[in-house]
């Protein structure tokens, strides 16, 4: 049950109780998340252009699993339930719909080294070599921003994997802990226009339980 995420909310609740005892002042209660007062950190999309640095494919190296199968089998339902309690503007069902659209992909696994990406789609593995093509800063309607790191393959067989972009809430070289990926076969500009579908990947070695905890912390 633990490996399937069946009781990770209870674990997080116990962590919250311990944290509350060490941080709250008398009379205060934990309040629902207030998005209007979001902390303006780099991870939340607030940064200066000058702070954005080039990155290499090695920042994303590793063996990665899609979280979409976890959503499909219901493992993440408790994550959505918790999110709805923290932000009452959306129900758990609303969150599930939002993340279903965001996470949807038929690429279950991605393997990356410093030059190559391999995509496992419907049990078939396709591998291509990539070159770094810079970054693009995107401005979002709510006032924050994001950075896409662009890579491109010259392989004529790359098809939908010719143009690949990463977003991981980092803006300078660092080994990532998870990422959102975008890809397509037309152009980098076409891929940049995708804002609603952002397939998300975590290390293959993590269990369902560990991924759920990472998502709650994130």
Average pLDDT score, the chain? 87
Give the per-residue pLDDT at 30.
Answer: 34
The Cβ of residue 215 has, within 10 Å, a number of other Cβ atoms equal to 20
Give the per-residue pLDDT at 21.
Answer: 40
Q: Where are the domains of the chain?
A: 8-217
Q: Give 102 or 32, the one with higher predicted confidence.
A: 102
| Arch. (CATH architecture) of 8-217 | Beta Barrel (2.40)
d(CA 148, CA 165): 6
- Please report which confidence band the pLDDT of residue 169 belongs to, taking 50, 70 and 90 as the band edges: very high
Which of 171, 149, 148, 151 has the alpha carbon at shortest distance from 163?
Answer: 151
- Residue holding tokens 């290390």? 203
**Integer angstrom CA distances of residue 64 from 12, 101, 127, 151, 181:** 24, 20, 14, 17, 11
pLDDT reading at 19 higher than 90: no
Which of 39, 40, 43 has the alpha carbon at shortest distance from 172?
Answer: 43
Phi and psi (nearest 5°) for 167? -135, 125
């Amino acid at each position: 049950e633990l490996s399937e995420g069946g009781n990770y909310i209870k674990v997080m609740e116990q962590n919250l109780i311990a944290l509350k005892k060490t941080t709250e002042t008398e009379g205060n209660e934990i309040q629902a998340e207030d998005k209007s007062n979001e902390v303006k950190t780099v991870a939340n999309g607030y940064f200066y252009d000058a702070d954005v640095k080039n990155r290499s494919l090695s920042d994303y190296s590793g063996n990665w699993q899609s979280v979409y199968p976890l959503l499909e089998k219901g493992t993440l339902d408790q994550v959505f339930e918790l999110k709805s309690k923290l932000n009452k503007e959306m129900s758990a069902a609303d969150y599930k719909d939002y993340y279903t659209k965001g996470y949807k992909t038929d690429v279950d696994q991605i393997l990356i080294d410093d030059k190559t990406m391999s995509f496992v789609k419907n049990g078939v593995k396709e591998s291509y070599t990539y070159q770094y093509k810079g970054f693009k800063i995107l401005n979002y309607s709510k006032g924050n921003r994001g950075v896409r790191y662009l890579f491109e393959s010259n392989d004529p067989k790359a098809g939908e994997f010719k143009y690949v972009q990463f977003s991981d809430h980092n803006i300078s070289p660092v080994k990532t802990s998870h990422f959102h990926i975008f890809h397509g076969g037309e152009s980098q500009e076409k891929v940049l226009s995708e804002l609603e579908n952002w397939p998300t990947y975590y290390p293959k070695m993590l269990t369902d339980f560990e991924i759920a905890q990472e998502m709650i912390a994130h």
